[in-house]
């Protein structure tokens, strides 16, 4: 509101001060955000008070100079649009790999709002974590878009976790994949689960011939975490465990230790020959008799047992089946 | 014949006296000590040693045996590594009995008892043995052997008329007919033990069994492959002094006919398939050995049966016994000495709860082998506290549970080792993270008498193996599976452990240089063999081809015989000279 004297009201003074100083303190992103909002909203103002409009225009110019006075590189709007179009192109080219920035392309102004394009932040992040971002062409977008820096926090977490494995929790289809190899670290966000399985199968095949895991003695890789050594030596178990020999049914299964994929499958432990033959014979016999359901009275009533829906897995059932077994070995 | 020698070391004892004393000393360690005293004692021991066990057939040659112990009467030779029982060793790996049979036939005139374990036997070897020693051979045990057929057994049956013991348990035999048993039935009247349990020999006839039972009045132990109990009624009636029987099963649906079956009155060791419990109840109180591995009983049936067996000393069963069965066992069977719980295929499992109760109840336990789904430090401590007679402890942790209650188990293992002072054999098959390097160091430090160890998935780095190898003063045979140790650490351990003479490892970290690290453990009398990683194609029960990946294996052993000469393609010898 402008008083009759044509001077700025207290509110306006206050707001101007805020605009000048508070935004120095707040995040530069918010500053830009505010600028963009202010700019876009000012375009829609109805023509009213000419003087007010003029003053606002003057204020905006002042703000523009203030912005440069913040000592930033101050990409002007053309530069901003260039960067934006570049990002969008690369995102399309990347295909599956998204760099973790949620872009909502509903309105141009709104789209612009959500991007954090401050190069100085990008530079600092790059310099402080040279190992984090691998110099592979696929992940180049992260050089430009340190919004992935937001994801780099979780990169740190994954470095504390195991290598050669996607830290999957639960049944999520896409998650982050971290690969440590030969002194380099590569991080992929939103990596699909089925591709991970392919990669792990490839790694198992490659490691099975050499019977060893990743070369963990590389000091460059050991730097970031203190307990990496311990985890790494644990992890070198993984290829061996993957191919742990058992005379069992499903050797392609991956009994990754760190993920504790236990529960129900004792494939890691070899079965004694004599017992194995015995169980195989029982299954064969039960499978042969499966169409014939006969009821026999047991001597003692059977307690309730879980039904596994398979011929001979439940031993309580199998005693019935053995009684029906007229397939004599002699 | 006896010369009075003035030996440099005069014991002051004439040889005649020594010869009277020596027969009372049978134990192999005592005899080994005697032979080290002086040359004279060595010669006397060699001339009078009656029993030899060759723990690994490639440590020496058969002719060395014949030269040193010409008067041996009982010989036991073991071949393939224990892993062969779990299908981890190639079939043609080795362990042929031919050189030993030839030596027996040529030089060992006094041999009466012969026992081969996990070796490859051919029909021709059995024929040579039967022709040369058939007149005097009293016991032949082909235990978990392979490579022969019923034709070879025919020779044994027809020519070994003095045979008191024939044991073929768990061997892989090609069955052509049942004539071999017929030969035994026709020619032998002094058989005491007949065992073809866990083989696939099914073409034997009941009449032959009955004839043996009638002819052999000392027949005390018969273990056969699976057959219907109703067909053995005549056999049971004839075998009046039978004490041990395994192998029959109740397959017939008409259960009332089983009431007519009467078991021999002295039967106290029993193993039946698919038990029909009322048949067993009448003499359950006499039982001191029970084999329920193939019995297909559930937990309730186990409890009902075990309650009636207060004199039970040996029990073999599967995990279906459950924690509840172990509670019943602890309450009812106070004399229990040996318990083996094999892995079953059902949902019921054994855990630390059952083990704790068992340890507190069965104080006479000497042998405990169990597959558990969960284990805690407290249960291991209670075993250490109560099972003071324990000589042999084997624990395997199944993958049934996602996470186990209480890990690492370092403190529990330490308490167990410190409590069970008589422990001589130890097996721990765990998961990574369950026993840390610290725990492995405890094993090294607190197992002064343990001679054999099997460790699976223990430790987390080479440090653990270094700590382990600082201890274990008595360890002679070490088998490891799925561990993360490097070749350098393995070589170091092999050199550090003072008594180690046999090392088997599967699943280790290979180094980038090919086997140079392993050669660090090479010594003049030490052989090192490698079975590289290999793929085995088998068919599973749905007739699909399945590829199994077997990791590489190392076998290192002390040997006076030099490197093997009968390698198959799958085995590579590491020769430091090359």
Q: What is the pLDDT of residues B403-417, one digit of tens each?
A: 778 878 999 999 999
- E strands of B215-268, at which residues? 221-228, 244-249
Q: Is residue A242 a contact partner of residue B507, using CB atoms and an 8 Å limit?
A: no
CB contact (8 A) between residue B227 and residue A329: yes
Ramachandran assignment for A255, one of left (phi > 0), alpha (psi -120 to 50 degrees), beta (any other): beta
Contact B158, B183 (CB under 8 A): yes
pLDDT at A323: 34
CB-nearest partner of B344 from A250, A315, A322: A315
Distance, in Å, from the CA atom of B103 to the CA atom of B131, rounded to the nearest integer, reads 14
- Can you give the pLDDT at residue B570? 83
Rg (CA), chain A: 33
Q: Which residues contact A202 (CB under 8 A, 6 or more apart)?
A: none
d(CA A280, CA A271): 12
Among positive and negative, which fits the CA dihedral B105, B106, B109, B111?
negative
* Structure confidence at residue A271 (pLDDT): 81
A315, A317, A320: which to substitute to probe chain B, counting the most B Cβ within 10 Å?
Answer: A315
Q: Is cis: bond before A248, omega within 30 of 0? A: no
> How far does A309 lie from chain B, in Å, by closest CA?
12
**A241 — contact with chain B (CB < 8 Å)?**
yes
Q: Do B347 and A244 touch (CB under 8 A)?
A: no
> Using CB atoms, which residue from A210, A251, A313 is nearest to B345?
A313
Q: pTM for this one?
A: 0.67
**A315: contact with B, CB 8 A cutoff:** yes
Determine which of B177, B225, B298 to mutate to test the interface with A (most A C-beta atoms within 10 Å): B298
Please give the span between the terminal C-alpha atoms of chain B, in angstroms, as a whole number.
50
A306 in contact with B, Cβ within 8 Å: yes
pLDDT at B385: 95
Chain B residues whose CB is inside 8 A of the A296 CB are 253
DSSP per-residue letters across B294-347: T----HHHHHHHHHT-TT--EEEEEGGGHHHHHHHHHHH-TT--EEEEE--SSS
* Number of neighbours of residue B499 by Cβ within 10 angstroms: 12
Would you tell me how many other CB atoms lie within 10 Å of the CB of residue B92? 16
Q: What is the pLDDT of residue B63?
A: 93
Quick one: tokens of A49?
Answer: 């008070």
Compute the distance between CA of residue B323 and CA of residue B339 in angstroms, rounded to an integer. 14
pLDDT at A11: 61
Query: A315: which chain B residues are within 8 Å (Cβ-Cβ)?
Result: 296-298, 318, 320, 344-346, 348
- The distance of B485 to chain A (nearest Cα, Å) reads 9
- CB-CB neighbours of A127 under 10 Å: 8
Residues 250-269 of A with CB under 8 A from B: 250-252, 255, 257, 260, 262-269
Q: Which residues of chain B neighbour A262 with C-beta distances below 8 Å?
A: 399-403, 431
With an 8 Å Cβ cutoff, are A245 and B342 in contact? no
Does B484 sit within 8 Å of A237, measured CB to CB? Answer: yes
Which segments in chain A show pLDDT lower than 50? 1-2, 4-6, 43-53, 62-74, 95-171, 209-261, 264, 293-330
Name the residue of chain A whose CA is nearest to B199's CA: A274
> In this structure, what token pair is assigned to residue B121?
């036997």
- CB neighbours (10 Å) of residue B402? 10
Cross-chain Cβ contact A233/B226 below 8 Å: no
Nearest Cα residue to B510 out of B478, B543, B487, B544: B487
Positions in chain B whose pLDDT score sits under 50: 1, 578
- Say what the pLDDT of residue B456 is: 93
Tell me which residue of A26, A28, A22 sits closest to A118, measured CA to CA: A28
Indicate the length of chain A as a whole number.
Answer: 330
Tens of pLDDT, residue by residue over A228-257, are 333 333 433 333 333 333 333 333 333 333
Q: In Å, how far is B205's CA from the nearest CA of chain A?
A: 8
Is any Cβ of chain B less than 8 angstroms from the Cβ of A17?
Answer: no
**B382 alpha-carbon distance from chain centroid:** 27
At A245 the three-state DSSP class reads coil
Judged by a CB distance cut-off of 8 A, whether residue A16 touches chain B is no
**Residue B226 C-alpha, separation from nearest chain A C-alpha, in angstroms:** 6
What secondary structure does DSSP assign to A177-195, as a single string?
EEEEETTEEEEEEEEEHHH
Kind of pairing between the strands at B572-574 and B526-531 = antiparallel
Q: Distance (Å, rounded) from C-alpha B270 to C-alpha A119? A: 83
| Cβ pair A263, A247 in contact under 8 A | no
State which residue of chain A sits closest to B200, comparing Cα positions. A329
| Chain A residue whose CA is closest to B228 | A328
Ramachandran angles phi, psi of B129, nearest 5°: -65, -45
Hey, CA dihedral for B28, B34, B35, B40, is it positive or negative?
negative
Chain B CB contacts of A278 below 8 Å: 293-294
Beta carbons of A245 and B345 less than 8 Å apart: no
- Contact list in B for residue A303 (CB cut-off 8 A) is 298-300
Nearest to A243 among B299, B484, B551 (CB): B551
- Residue B311 CB partners (closer than 8 Å, separation 6+): B268, B285, B286, B287, B288, B333, B335
Say what the pLDDT of residue A168 is: 41
Q: Do B550 and A245 touch (CB under 8 A)?
A: yes
Mutation target vs A (from B551, B552, B553; most A CBs, 10 A cutoff):
B551
CA distances from A186 to A130, A131, A153, A179 (A): 12, 9, 14, 5
Asked if residues B71 and B107 have their Cβ atoms less than 8 Å apart, the reply is no
Question: In terms of C-beta density within 10 A (0-12 exposed, 13-18 middle, 19 or more buried), how is residue B350 classed?
Answer: buried
- Tokens encoding B488: 């350098």
Of B250, B253, B244, B256, the C-alpha closest to B232 is: B250
pLDDT of residue A91: 57
Most A CBs within 10 Å, among B85, B346, B348, B396, to test the A interface: B346
Is the CB of B484 less than 8 angstroms away from the CB of A236? yes
Residues of B in contact with A218 (CB under 8 A): none
d(CA B484, CA B482): 7
Torsion angle, CA of B415/B417/B419/B422, rounded to 10 degrees? 170
Question: Quick one: closest CA in A to B461, which residue?
Answer: A233
**Across all residues in chain B, what is the average pLDDT?**
89
Task: Determine the residue of chain A that is closest to B178 in CA distance.
Answer: A330
The two structure tokens encoding residue A306: 């879980």
């Amino acid at each position: 509101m402008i008083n009759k004297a044509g001077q700025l009201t207290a509110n306006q003074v206050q707001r101007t001060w805020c605009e000048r100083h508070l935004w120095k303190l707040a995040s530069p992103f918010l500053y830009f955000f505010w600028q963009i909002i202010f700019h876009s909203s000012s375009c829609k103002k109805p023509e009213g008070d000419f003087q007010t409009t003029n003053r606002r225009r003057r204020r905006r110019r002042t703000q523009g100079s203030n912005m440069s006075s913040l000592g930033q590189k101050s990409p002007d709007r053309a530069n901003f649009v260039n960067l934006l179009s570049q990002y969008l192109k690369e995102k399309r080219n990347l295909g599956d790999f998204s760099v973790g920035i949620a872009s909502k392309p509903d309105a141009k102004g709104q789209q612009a709002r959500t991007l954090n394009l401050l190069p100085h932040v990008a530079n600092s992040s790059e310099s402080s974590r040279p190992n984090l971002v691998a110099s592979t062409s696929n992940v180049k977008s992260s050089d430009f878009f340190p919004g992935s820096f937001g994801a780099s926090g979780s990169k740190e977490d994954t470095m504390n976790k195991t290598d050669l494995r996607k830290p999957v929790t639960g049944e999520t289809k896409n998650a982050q994949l971290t690969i440590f190899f030969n002194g380099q670290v590569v991080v992929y966000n939103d990596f699909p689960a089925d591709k991970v399985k392919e990669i792990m199968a490839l790694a198992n095949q490659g490691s099975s011939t050499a019977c060893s895991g990743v070369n963990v003695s590389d000091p460059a890789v050991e730097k970031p975490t203190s307990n990496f050594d311990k985890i790494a030596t644990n992890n070198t178990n993984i290829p061996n465990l993957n191919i742990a020999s058992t005379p069992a049914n499903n050797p392609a299964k991956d009994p990754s230790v760190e993920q504790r994929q236990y529960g129900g499958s004792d494939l890691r432990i070899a079965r004694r020959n004599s017992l194995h033959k015995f169980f195989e014979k029982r299954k064969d016999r039960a499978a042969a008799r499966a169409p014939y359901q006969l009821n026999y009275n047991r001597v003692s009533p059977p307690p309730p047992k879980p039904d596994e829906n398979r011929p001979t897995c439940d031993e309580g059932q199998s005693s019935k089946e053995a009684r029906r077994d007229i397939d004599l070995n002699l | 014949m006896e010369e009075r020698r003035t030996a440099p070391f005069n014991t002051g004892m004439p040889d005649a006296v020594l010869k009277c004393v020596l027969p009372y000393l049978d134990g192999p360690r005592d005899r080994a000590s005697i032979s080290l005293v002086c040359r004279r004692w060595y010669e006397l021991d060699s001339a009078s040693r009656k029993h030899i066990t060759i723990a690994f057939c490639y440590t020496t040659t058969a002719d060395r045996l014949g030269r040193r112990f010409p008067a041996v009467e009982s010989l036991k030779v073991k071949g393939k590594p224990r892993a062969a029982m779990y299908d981890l060793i190639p079939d043609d790996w080795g362990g042929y009995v031919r050189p030993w049979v030839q030596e027996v036939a040529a030089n060992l005139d006094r041999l009466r008892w012969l026992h081969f374990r996990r070796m490859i036997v051919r029909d021709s070897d059995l024929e040579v043995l039967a022709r040369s020693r058939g007149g005097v051979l009293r016991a032949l045990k082909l235990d978990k052997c392979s490579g022969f057929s019923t034709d070879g057994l025919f020779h044994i049956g027809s020519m070994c008329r003095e045979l008191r013991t024939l044991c073929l348990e768990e061997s892989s035999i090609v069955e052509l007919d049942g004539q071999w048993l017929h030969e035994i039935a026709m020619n032998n009247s002094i058989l005491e033990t007949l065992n073809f349990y866990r083989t696939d020999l099914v073409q034997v006839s009941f009449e032959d069994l009955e004839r043996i039972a009638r002819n052999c009045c000392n027949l005390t132990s018969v273990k056969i492959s699976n057959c219907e109990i109703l067909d053995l009624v005549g056999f049971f009636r004839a075998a009046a002094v039978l004490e041990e029987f395994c192998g029959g099963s109740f397959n017939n649906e008409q259960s009332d006919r089983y009431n007519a079956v009467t078991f021999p009155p002295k039967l106290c060791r029993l193993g039946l398939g698919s038990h029909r419990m009322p048949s067993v109840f009448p003499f359950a109180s006499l039982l001191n050995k029970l084999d329920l591995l193939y019995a297909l009983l559930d937990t309730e049936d186990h409890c009902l049966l075990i309650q009636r067996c207060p004199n039970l000393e040996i029990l073999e069963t599967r995990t279906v016994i459950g924690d509840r069965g172990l509670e019943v066992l602890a309450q009812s069977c106070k004399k229990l000495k040996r318990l083996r719980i094999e892995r079953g295929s059902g949902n019921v499992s054994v855990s630390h709860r059952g083990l704790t109760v068992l340890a507190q109840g069965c104080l006479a336990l000497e042998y405990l082998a169990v597959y558990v789904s969960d284990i805690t430090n407290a249960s291991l401590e209670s075993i250490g506290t109560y099972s003071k007679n324990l000589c042999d402890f084997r624990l395997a942790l199944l993958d049934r549970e996602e996470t186990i209650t209480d890990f690492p188990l370092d403190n529990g293992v330490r308490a167990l080792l410190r409590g069970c002072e008589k422990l001589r054999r130890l097996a721990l098959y765990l998961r990574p993270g369950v026993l840390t390097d610290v725990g492995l160091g405890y094993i090294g430090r607190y197992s002064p008498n343990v001679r054999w160890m099997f460790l699976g998935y223990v430790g987390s780095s080479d440090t653990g193996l270094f700590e382990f190898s600082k201890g274990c003063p008595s360890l002679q045979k070490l088998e490891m599976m799925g561990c993360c140790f490097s070749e350098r650490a393995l070589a170091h351990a092999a050199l550090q452990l003072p008594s180690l003479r046999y090392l088997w490892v599967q699943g280790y970290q290979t180094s980038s240089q090919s086997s140079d690290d392993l050669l660090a453990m090479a010594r003049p009398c030490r052989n090192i063999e490698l079975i590289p990683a290999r793929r085995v194609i088998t068919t599973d029960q749905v007739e699909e081809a399945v590829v199994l990946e077997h990791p590489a294996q190392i076998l290192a052993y002390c040997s006076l015989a030099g490197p093997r000469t009968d390698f198959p393609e799958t085995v590579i010898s590491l020769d430091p000279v090359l």
